[in-house]
Amino acid sequence: MIQDGIQKPIEEPAERRPTLNLETIRELVRSQTGETADLKLDEDGRELLFTGELKASLTDTSNITVLVFDHAILFANISWNQSSKKIEIYRRPIPLELLLLSKTQQENTHTSCLRRFSFLGFMKASSANTVSKEAWPITFLHLGKTGYQMTLYASSEADQEKLVELIGTARERLRVYPESFNPNIVSINFFKDSRKINCAVSFDHRRKILYGTDNGLYLSNREKHDSVPEKVLDVQKITQIDILEEYNLLLILSNNILQSYSLVKPDSNDFTILQNPKTLQKKCTFFKVGVCVGKHMVSCVKSGSLSSTIKVFEASHTATSGESIDGGHNDLTLSKEFYIPKETFSVHFLKSKICFASRQGFEVVSLETLETQTLLDETDASIEFALQNGPRPIHIQRIDEEFLLNYTDFSFFVDRNGKRSRPQLRLDWNGSPQRFALSYPWIFAFESKFIELRNIETGAIHIIPHKNLRMLHCSSHEDEMSQDVVESISL
């Protein structure tokens, strides 16, 4: 039964068709908690777009009532007679932006569904997965760490088509992306097989991009449309790269060895890498480039399951002859080296200190004294949830005099003393993001199946589903043929 004039109702005998409207549903779920607590049916402008029934299976004659709101879909068993009305939640509600649909029955794995899904949030049909000519399945896939997959069956192909189209229209009404989200394809079908991308970095005012792959370093010029990336360095198994443009230095981590290369004219078409690299660190797990105490620095992390060694290098100009643009020699010299008795996940540069993340949380190290202390004020009861074991700290971002701390489960603000600021604000992530990017007031959280955009000021949420996402310097995902499609997002 489709209501509110979006589609014509499916005719049923009047005595079997209860009148379900938004107010009735509000009354039925008002006493519910947990599964329906986040439905927010009392918000202004809320709409009930569709009510109808689907079969739970091909052999089960019982029906599941499907209620499509302007923001979510609910599955329920509704009991109705002259003396009472009762609703039993069949499965947890799905926010429309976390929903993927297919008109075929899918295997019970997220991966198989995502192989058939397009950018608009629909999974492509596959005749091999069609149950039979007399079955009209609709597979619902709930993205996120609490997600699930379920297949229900329409009574006709027309009903199947109507429901899928209506949900798609309702979902697109929600997808008004922020102005800061401006994706464009940089490369397609080139990076495959041994050229699979592991990392990337842009430079020369974003006009050029370097890609680190398993079989070498590639360069593309974004000003030359349809140009094919060019191999510029034959280095195997590159896992991380970065550029210090002010010093014409290129950093490459390959086979766990971090080396620096001098560049010639990186901002021209005569881009050249000198073939005499300097080894900075062997057995390097990862590195980080940043500015601390007013200086450009590189931290090299050798991390194990029980301990980590961190070396900090300082970039410098020396007055020796060389082949860099200004005629001087640019170098990285060891400034500090210290030991941490725990595994290190990430490193971040603050104004005068280095912050690192471990299973115990975020900690800061003074570069002058090498004294270590926790970033969070453990006496602040309002951050007890972050001090518990479980959520993994990932990323820290300074915003004026505050710090935005990003974990796999949530994000929140603290002040320079480690006390909770903006106590009303806590971002609970639908997925389990491993990388973050900030374009204030929007924060981008990347996980393998979708990007979650959250507005820190308004609380607005946008979900951008893709499969096999990886945040490089840009984002990438693999298509059906294991070829990389590289997209850049201007923040």
Residues 62-81 have pLDDT tens digits of 889 898 998 999 998 877 66
- How far is it, in rounded angstroms, from Cα 456 to Cα 453? 10
- How far is it, in rounded angstroms, from Cα 51 to Cα 64? 10
Q: Which 3 state secondary structure label does DSSP give 449?
A: coil
Q: What is the pLDDT of residue 400?
A: 86
Q: Mention every residue, 6+ apart, whose C-beta is less than 8 A from residue 158.
A: none
Question: How is domain 14-174 classified at the architecture level of CATH?
Answer: Roll (2.30)
Q: What is the pLDDT of residue 14?
A: 42
Q: Which 3 state secondary structure label does DSSP give 11?
A: coil
Regions in the chain scoring below 70 on pLDDT: 1-19, 30-38, 80-84, 105-134, 176-187, 189, 225, 266-267, 318-329, 473-491
> 230: number of CA atoms within 13 Å, CB side?
11
Return the sign of the alpha-carbon dihedral for residues 114, 119, 123, 125: negative
Q: What DSSP element (H or E) covers 169?
A: helix 157-174
Instruction: For 236-343, list the strands marked E by DSSP.
Output: 238-244, 249-254, 257-264, 272-273, 278-282, 286-292, 295-303, 308-318, 329-340
Residue 91 phi, psi (nearest 5): -140, 160
311's tokens: 């070396």
Q: Which 3 state secondary structure label does DSSP give 245?
A: helix
Q: What is the pLDDT of residue 11?
A: 40
Peptide bond into 441 cis (omega under 30): yes
106-113: long-range pairs with CB below 8 Å, 24+: 106/139, 106/141, 106/149, 106/151, 108/149, 109/149, 110/141, 110/147, 110/149, 110/449, 113/139, 113/141, 113/149
Q: What is the pLDDT of residue 36?
A: 53
Q: What is the pLDDT of residue 479?
A: 38
Q: What is the pLDDT of residue 12?
A: 42
pLDDT for 128-184, tens place per residue?
444 455 678 999 999 998 899 999 999 889 999 999 999 988 888 877 666 656 666
**Would you list the DSSP string of 119-164?**
TTSBBPP-GGG---TT-EEEEEEE-STT--EEEEEESSHHHHHHHH
Q: What is the pLDDT of residue 47?
A: 87
Q: What is the pLDDT of residue 365?
A: 93
Beta bridge partners, 428, equal 410
Q: What DSSP element (H or E) covers 171?
A: helix 157-174
- How far is it, in rounded angstroms, from Cα 274 to Cα 259? 12
**Would you list the DSSP string of 74-125?**
EEEEEEE-SS-EEEEEEEEEEEGGGEEEESS---SSHHHHHTTB-TTSBBPP
Question: In the chain, where are the structural domains located?
Answer: 14-174
Q: What is the pLDDT of residue 440?
A: 85
**150: nearest Cα among 108, 103, 96:** 108
Q: What is the pLDDT of residue 281?
A: 93
- How far is it, in rounded angstroms, from Cα 435 to Cα 408? 9
**H helices within 311-448, ranges in order?**
384-387
Q: What is the pLDDT of residue 239?
A: 94
Cα separations (Å) of 307 from 304, 311, 388, 396, 415?
Answer: 5, 14, 21, 21, 28
Q: Which 3 state secondary structure label does DSSP give 412?
A: strand
- How far is it, in rounded angstroms, from Cα 442 to Cα 461? 9
pTM: 0.77
Q: What is the pLDDT of residue 58?
A: 84
